[in-house]
Amino acid sequence: MVDSYDSVQVAGSPNGVGAVAGGVGGAVLGSQIAGRHNKTLGGVIGAIGGGLLGNEIEKHQRTTTMYDVHVRMNDGSMRTVRQATPPQVGSHVSVDGNALHSAPQNSSSNYGGSSQGGSSFQSSQGGNGSATFSPSGS
């Protein structure tokens, strides 16, 4: 049964676009601010600073919210599964690896194993952390 959950901010991984754009903008701005005699040095410093800033901005823009779902198993132990959608506290589920499956309320023998009915919530911690939902039988 879902006991509780915590929302977690997961930082995205940058692909370099922010760093390149920031570096170019920083180089142009740095060379303009530096004046006539130090344009090269100003451009280099601006490119480095702009690249670092652009990279951080891109990471922030790619941040997603995930949910660490705390499931109380039949034996009283707790398991935690990360997924992209918030769960309903009190719902009956079974845990299969990193996946939650909705469990029929009248059957408690399949907690912690594979689901024999209901819906399936698949969780993935790699990549962008997306989760998928698929009804049973599909």
The per-residue pLDDT of the chain, averaged, comes to 73
Instruction: From 21, 40, 61, give the residue that closes a domain.
Output: 61
Please determine, for residue 118, whether its predicted confidence score (pLDDT) is greater than 60.
no
Q: What are phi and psi of 20, to 5 degrees?
A: -65, -50
Q: Specify whether 19 is located in the same domain as 79.
A: no
Q: Specify whether 54 is located in the same domain as 95.
A: no
Q: Which pLDDT does position 70 carry in this prediction? A: 92
For residue 96, the enclosing domain spans: 2-8+64-135
Q: Specify whether 89 is located in the same domain as 119.
A: yes
Q: Specify whether 72 is located in the same domain as 32.
A: no
In total, how many domains does the chain have? Answer: 2
Above pLDDT 90, what percent of the chain? 3
Q: Specify whether 57 is located in the same domain as 71.
A: no
Instruction: Determine the average pLDDT of the residues in 98-123.
Output: 53
Q: Convert the pLDDT of each residue in 51-110 to its tens digit.
A: 888 888 887 777 888 899 999 988 989 889 888 888 889 888 888 887 787 877 654 434
Q: Specify whether 118 is located in the same domain as 86.
A: yes
Instruction: Determine the average pLDDT of the residues in 122-127.
Output: 41
Whether pTM exceeds 0.95: no
Q: Specify whether 43 is located in the same domain as 88.
A: no
Q: Specify whether 37 is located in the same domain as 75.
A: no
Q: Specify whether 33 is located in the same domain as 89.
A: no
Q: Specify whether 45 is located in the same domain as 68.
A: no
Q: Specify whether 82 is located in the same domain as 115.
A: yes
Q: Specify whether 57 is located in the same domain as 89.
A: no
